[in-house]
Amino acid sequence: MEAGGTRPDELDVELDRVEAAVDDGDTDLGALGFWRLVRRVKRDPDLIERHADRIGRIDRKAFQAGVRIRIPTWAGDLLLTTVLAVGAISFAVAASSAEGSLVTGIALVVAMGAWDVGVHSPTHRLVGRLVGIRFTEYFVRSIAAPPGVKTDYTSYLRASPSARAWMHASGALASKVVPFLVIVLASVFDVDAPAWTIAIVWVVGVGQIFTDAIFSTRRSDWKKVRRELAVARDLRRPAGARATLS
């Protein structure tokens, strides 16, 4: 018996079932029990080695069938680099505009917004590549959602749980730093922005930390950080004492 009581042949049967359902057009991996199987596999290095390629293939099929707005990683990198450049230009405009002017205030807010959007996914990519995680494409799930970057789940599984946690945390931390970095840079470059601008920047900075503490620990990046750290703790236990997740 392996991975919390599931035999390898049983995993093969279950993955056969999930992959057949995905091939038939069902992309709800949660309802198909796919993530339950993945949680079991994560807690056994031998099962990761055996099933990582197949799990990655199933995840990729479901993702590509379920998410329509996708672009290659090189195009996403180029687009987000452009967004970061827009932020830099906006900051330069703020620094060179009349003291306390409306243009100064708007340009500083635009710089913060551009950097906030532009830094998140590339930071995931950078840290992920450093720990051996590859990425397949950028995507947008809806007009209201920020762009995301899709992991290659095979390489994701083969990275250590701690490395996966750092990858998830990196983008979230980078975004949280941006508003406070804008305040520091405004002080360093002596940008005399209107009081309302600095208030907006502070509200965004503190607000992001607050929303992360309330919501992201239940979903999104910080939920994934907690999940992978739990896997790391579990793997440090003796094999017989590891958690059985279903």
Which tens digits make up the pLDDT trace of 214-228? Answer: 776 666 788 999 999
Structural domain includes residue 151? yes
The verdict on 32 and 22 lying in the same domain is yes
| Spatial distance between the Cα atoms of 61 and 52, rounded to a whole number of angstroms | 14
Averaged confidence pLDDT in the chain? 89
Query: Domain boundary residue among 10, 38, 66?
Result: 66
Confidence of residue 98 (pLDDT cuts 50, 70, 90): confident
pLDDT of residue 216: 62
| Spatial distance between the Cα atoms of 43 and 234, rounded to a whole number of angstroms | 7
Task: Give the structural domain span for 3.
Answer: 1-66
Q: Among 32-36, 143-147, 158-162, 210-214, whose mean pLDDT is lowest?
A: 143-147
The verdict on 41 and 160 lying in the same domain is no
86: left (phi over 0), alpha (psi -120 to 50) or beta: alpha
The verdict on 148 and 31 lying in the same domain is no
pLDDT of residue 245: 47
Backbone angles phi, psi at 132, to 5 degrees: 95, 10
The verdict on 119 and 14 lying in the same domain is no
pLDDT of residue 246: 39
Structural domain includes residue 244? no
